[in-house]
Structure 1
């Protein structure tokens, strides 16, 4: 399934009961901001998915769940589906993940459609990661689970990864089981990353799309004037300008 395997399962019949039985914690990949997102192939609700082929030249949001038919996760998957046109407008592809079998995913989608979509079609793939292989690649386990990784089955944590078109990880957020994700924050971060990449700027606290941005201290006043035109200096290191440039 993967180009490089970190698992040594003795037999297919034992796969469900010996997950991570020979897991080597020393080989745990370290996925940080700026890391290249590990590629993988996995079954999903729309068929076999290769992450890199699925994303193509688009941005991507990969978000994980420990199990199907869980209340918080159900609301999250539904909200991402409802907001898919917003992600589409930003050139972003959504990819969910849950550590259950594919057949359960298909049943769960029906609940999500009923609760959040008014019966409308569910509109993005959900990966089946029942062997926790993607969870391993992306370090989607809690500290407690990691310490018990060789003792039997574990649950994945609820992580969000924003991946840019160069397959670099640009954001990682991990939530505890009791706290629902903020989908508006995911969109806000994507807006910030995209305007930053386009203009070479950074964004201040609570920034929203269309608001003034910050010129990095590495850009001289002369270069800032040439690139942005007018800007406001609050401190020598804190200068604001409009995201609408003259170039």
Structure 2
């Protein structure tokens, strides 16, 4: 089942083409990594898919619905959710409360927040279950300011999961995460729901080749290659773009 279709997206800033006729699709349960050198247009592409930027040309379809002109919040309600490269957590609010707020937003009860949070035990239970799935129960009542950065990145994933996405866009989940915490993040990503379609932008090639079932390579805003991890690893053009002709990925 195809969840997401991106058709011939184009975006320019002045005379600079940052997205140059990019097309791809994403199926339920697929893990798609988007990689490329700095300046390849990866985040700009995901910003268009997520609705932060509007494309100059092309279409974005979610479950066969054309969402190209929709703002990001409307795409979220339709099942397209993203995280960002830079942490956007409330630094002094307990993690479980932040996840609960995301659930309130999803189910429309956010307008009744004058009531005690104890009036919504089912929401607290759901928030606790989401944190448990990501092995974050140990920090559920901590604030982000008290937590390791790897855990903070996982809280952002928890907030996204609270919105019950069909498609999850992850923008560099390893950004700023120390090597000592990288395995924690990878383990959590591997436990994401099996039917969830995931698009990940990442520079950590170890994560990419362990996590992705398919890899899309961008260069100068255009698709350079699209294939399985083995196909991308053997692609001479991709190796040349990344590390020079003798490089390996």
Which bin holds the TM-score, normalised by the shorter protein? under 0.3
Identify, as 1 or 2, the structure richer in strand.
Answer: 2
Report 1 or 2 for greater relative contact order, CA contacts < 8 Å, sequence distance ≥ 6. 2
Identify, as 1 or 2, the structure richer in helix.
Answer: 2
Q: Which has the larger radius of gyration?
A: 1
